[in-house]
Chain A
Amino acid sequence: MLESKTDQSNRDGDPALEQLARDPSSRKRFLSAVGGAGAVTAFAGLLAACGGDSGDESTQAGDAGSEGAGSEAPSSEAAPTEGAAATRQTNPDPKEGTDDLQILNYALSLEYLENAFYAKVLEADLFTGSTLEAIKGFAQNEREHLATVLATVEKLGGKPVAEPETNFPLGSPTAVLELAAALENGGAAAYLGQANRIRSKEVLAAALSIHTVEARHAAALNVLAGLPPEPEGAFAAPAPMEEVLASVQQFIVTP
């Protein structure tokens, strides 16, 4: 059922993606390897439109290389007996300074990217059979995500971010599946990274319902790319906005 063999000899894709394929726990590494921590300049317009994070995520669990930081910070700094007021002082509120419209425009930009990617993949006619059917289904899901997020931005009175011009390196079928898996794992991590920054319960409910569909895509594509469906194990890690925008900057064509 797998049209593209996953043996190493068949891989001719991006070295970073090959590394991702070899190291199942390297989503974080992928995000930094393909983007570069400071490589946001060419994507600055979108970043500005989205607002960006202020580093709040560093106080949450799941940062690469800082396992346990999330559990240490609150317990060591907050006095457990002083209740909510003390907690607020010592736990920076992830919602502080956030704007649902900015988060929605960020989601919109990612949905634009995913839509453009799947359109190009389907145009390239690389797959057949069950893999093609799966990709068609994911593409349809992403079209509906895009339409819904766009409509929500407009409903809230916001100005939707412009659709970026994109360029995706499409190599062998295996390399494309690896890129698809990386994009979907990153998309799921991106939604997860915003969940506790969203103010509106309705927007949160919508984001959660998209988040778990991105997770399904990621699990499915991981297997097609020869990776475990849950590379991070029992707990998925969030990705902060600036990290995600940096990692996808390579796919944005700058004017």
Chain B
Amino acid sequence: MPYRVPTIPALSAAGVQVDGITRSAFLLRGTLALAGLYGAGAVGPFVGRSLAQAEGDDGDVEILNFALTLEYLEAEFYRQALDLELSAEVGALARTLGAHEAAHVSALTESIEALGGAPAEEPRFSFPIGDEASFLELALTLEETGVSAYNGAGPLIVSPEVLAAAGGIVQIEARHAADIRRALGEPQAPEPFDPALEMAEVLDAIEPFVQS
């Protein structure tokens, strides 16, 4: 049964410490490191938004905006895939997964607004997909990155409601990864433990698809 990301009253989580640093500093460090690598403009609107958010106190909003950007990316990816000539089975998969990602976008947007935050704007994306094979290959990359991004961000989340909501989303991302692997004829659970990625690593992975 689908459930919505809970509506959460505004929190003031000033100075929350994660492993000795504030989460704002953690997030800033990640985005600044990325900006150093690519130049702040290269990663598009998300970094600017993220830096602005990091000046506030609510780290959960920053994490939700990070997740929102990933969901924007995935939802737009599946939208663009529908322009390709796909087999009936893969086309149906793209529609189903795209509908899930669009629902994630809506839920995260509502959750950010409920927390008193400003949802990140949707960047413009471009994907190097021209046929079913390139679609499935990139779909696998994006879904696996999504799983690792949520798993990496999970321990940084303060609000139990936000953590529960993120968990309800990442479980679906993992199922998507298994779906894409099935379509590719690859093992659906190749490792016993899914890896976690830090935010900077995730931004690194998606940077090629964000148009500056």
Contact = CB atoms under 8 A, between A and B. Distances in A.
A171 B101 CA distance: 37
Contacts, number: 212
Interface stretch (B61-69, B127-135, B159-167, B202-210): B159-167
A218 B175 contact: yes
A234 B11 contact: no
Interface in B171-203: 171-179, 181-182, 187-196
A140 B182 contact: no
B53 interface: no
A87 interface: yes
B172 A236 contact: yes
Interface in A114-146: 133-134, 137-138, 140-141, 144-145
Contacts of A201: 18-19, 155
B8 interface: yes
Interface stretch (A6-14, A47-55, A68-76, A154-162): A68-76
Nearest to A78: B9
Contacts of A81: 10
Contact of B164 (A79, A137, A195, A234): A195
Given A83-B12, A233-B2, A233-B103, A208 B7 contact: no
B4 A71 contact: yes
Interface residues of B, number: 59
Nearest to B163: A196
Contacts of A61: 3-6, 161, 164-165, 168
Contact of A209 (B6, B151, B181, B187): B151
A219 B182 CA distance: 10
B81 interface: no
A144 B194 CA distance: 12
B174 A233 contact: no
A134 B6 contact: no
B186 to A, nearest CB: 11
A61 B160 CA distance: 11
Chain A, interface SS category: helix
Contacts of A234: 2, 99-101, 103-104, 107, 169, 172
B172 A205 contact: no
A236 B171 contact: yes
A32 interface: no
A238 B151 contact: no
14 contacts: A74-B8, A75-B9, A75-B114, A80-B116, A95-B160, A134-B187, A148-B192, A204-B155, A208-B154, A213-B189, A219-B178, A230-B172, A232-B2, A237-B1
Q: When A and B form their complex, which 7 residue pairs have the shortest distance between CB atoms, in order from nearest?
A: A212-B174, A236-B171, A234-B103, A144-B192, A219-B175, A215-B174, A216-B189
Interface of B: 1-13, 18-19, 96, 99-101, 103-104, 107, 114, 116, 147, 150-151, 154-155, 160-161, 163-165, 167-179, 181-182, 187-196
